[in-house]
Amino acid sequence: MATTASGTSSGDAAAPRGWGTPGVRAAIISTGLIALALRLWILFLPGLMSVTQYDDGPYFGSAVRLVHGVLPYRDYAFVQPPGITELMSPAALESYLGGTAWALVIARFLCVFAGTAAVVLAGFLVRHRGALAVLLTGGIIAIYPPAAASARTVLLEPWLVLFCLAGAVAVFDGDRLTSRTRRLLWGGVAFGFGGAIKVWAIVPVLVIIVLCLPHVRRAAVFAGGVAAGFLIPVLPFVIAAPGRFYDDVVVAQLARIGTRTEAWKRFNSMLGTPKVLSPTTVVVLAITVVAVVIGAQIAASLVTRRPPAPLDWFALVSAALIVAMFLWPPYYAAHYAAFLGPFLALSLALPVARLAEGLRSRRATVDQPETQARPAAPPATPWPAKAGFIVLGLAVLAGAAAQAGPPTHWTARFGVPTVTLRLIPKGSCVLTDSAVYLLIANRFTSDVPGCSQMVDSLGTDLALGDGRRPESGAGRVPAVSNAWHQAFSTAGWVLLTPKSYVRIPWNPALLAYFHSHFHLVRQMNTYTLYERDGPRPKPR
């Protein structure tokens, strides 16, 4: 039977007290520091107040609206659960003091710390498997491109991963699910709040519930924690606008109509490989990763003469279900893959570490005297293993250095100089198809009565148009057309980005109103700023 350094069976390893051995602690700290340095570099590389994403505008903008007394769903369309709005609200309070630009900077730092904390939690989850498991798991997550890129600004995935890993640390006691009611309950709460950020948390939740069986009481305690963690932050918003909440969060997500993203492009994103690779190369790489994971599990089971532990099944089944979930709907975004990162890392690291420990234990058993039943102390790590750890650590560092370069898909879009947007008087009612520009220019909030509270132009189309985008007929839906007409009718200024045509449902009536009421003030590359003809709506 294979044994770990703590003397427990590798097939039934129990969680060590504290942070484990010195080697394990060193691996957790080093991978965490690498993750932090890489994410800070990616944050600072284009500039703290650069525009790198569309989604951070709606996600952080909703928090600014909330602290200013405006509710999502009831007062404007918001197509995600309210978890991210609540998480970002403390940072959004800075908008009262230093403006929305510095508030967004604070939020971006918080996201960097969340992405780093996820690496540490992943290492803590597998610390009972030894330093190799920690170094592989933490190292992969630290340098995994989707995870590193998604933590540079306000996106859902870093926080979703953080709460899912926090829940996993609570419910797993070593390789097996804990029997302690309090840990099961609080682990469920963490997973439930993860679902309040993004409903994808249901995937690992279902896997854990199945692993709890046939202990129905454990499954019920865990499910109760999940329900509490989800319902407590969500219910106030549901009560305020039940119909709109359903349309925004459920209908807009499940009924999306649009062009389907090709499967090989999704695999390319999930692998974190460069976009220049051919479809054949991507498919071969994906098959290779699957073969390595399955082969490592089989080899580990043969060497240790034990089947995979519940923790292995949790990682493997969750990863498989997440991949299937990413392949199913028509729409797919590159940052989605950040949610797969920890489960992919665990699926690879756990069997490899189990295999290495099994081989080491078998070698020690062969070398020991026949009269000795088992070694009195764990065998010393041979120099080839030490060299392997060094090589692996250097590989993680090299991967981090490679990610720290300025790839084209991480290049910020500097299309609108902040100075130009400051031509707009403070407190004016400004409409745009990308809220992040107004946040950075401190022109997001308005004092004009009746000004549209819209934070997500595309989300508004999806929510009011039953999943339709402008290119799939959102402009033909009366609710969508009315919402945009109301937004233009109260706006004194309009900022259009190069992608406004895929976010604003320009139908003939809306175009006619826009051209008859606004004139061009300035064109900045492919960005245009318009001002209302005649007197503008006045701030209070």
SS3 string, 311-325, reads HHHHHHHHHHHHHHH
Give the helix/strand (H/E) hosting 338.
Answer: none
Half-sphere exposure of 532 (CA within 13 A, CB side): 18
Amino acid found at 285: L
Residue 460 pLDDT > 60: yes
Residue 4 pLDDT > 50: no
Tracing tokens 């350094």 back to the chain, one arrives at 5
> What are the residue boundaries of the structural domains of the chain, listed by start?
17-366+395-408, 418-532
- What's the pTM? 0.89
Tracing tokens 């060590």 back to the chain, one arrives at 16
pLDDT for the residue 408: 44
Q: What is the mean pLDDT of the chain?
A: 86
User: How much of the chain is helix, strand and coil, in % rounded to 5?
Assistant: 65, 5, 30
Give the helix/strand (H/E) hosting 173.
Answer: strand 172-173
Query: 74 or 380: whose pLDDT is higher?
Result: 74
Map residue 127 onto helix, strand or coil. Answer: helix
Tokens matching residue 208 = 């854990």
What value, to the nearest 5°, has the Cα angle with vertex 345 and ends 146 and 295? 130
Alpha helix positions (H), 435-522: 435-440, 457-464, 478-490, 508-517
Residue 466 pLDDT > 90: no
Residues 6+ apart with CB under 8 A from 343: 204, 315, 318, 319, 322
State the Cα–Cα distance between residues 312 and 318, nearest whole angstrom. 10
Query: 45 or 316: whose pLDDT is higher?
Result: 316
Q: How confident is the model at residue 393 (pLDDT cuts 50, 70, 90)?
A: low
The full length of the chain comes to 540
Which stretches does DSSP call E strand in 36-114?
none
pLDDT for the residue 526: 80
pLDDT for the residue 150: 92
Is residue 530 within 8 A of residue 421, CB to CB? The reply is no
pLDDT in tens, 95-123: 999 899 999 999 999 999 999 999 999 99
Amino acid found at 5: A
Residues 6+ apart with CB under 8 A from 456: 57, 58, 61, 62, 76, 77, 78, 79, 435
Residue 69 pLDDT > 50: yes
Tracing tokens 């992919």 back to the chain, one arrives at 344
Q: Which among 337, 338, 341 has a CA at the least distance from the CA of 349?
A: 341
State the Cα–Cα distance between residues 25 and 36, nearest whole angstrom. 16
State the Cα–Cα distance between residues 336 and 348, nearest whole angstrom. 20
Residue 10 pLDDT > 70: no
Residue 396 pLDDT > 70: no
Is residue 229 within 8 A of residue 195, CB to CB? The reply is yes
pLDDT in tens, 267-308: 999 998 888 889 999 999 999 999 999 999 999 999 988 999
Count CB-CB contacts under 10 A for residue 402. Answer: 12
pLDDT in tens, 30-66: 999 999 999 999 998 888 888 888 999 999 999 999 9
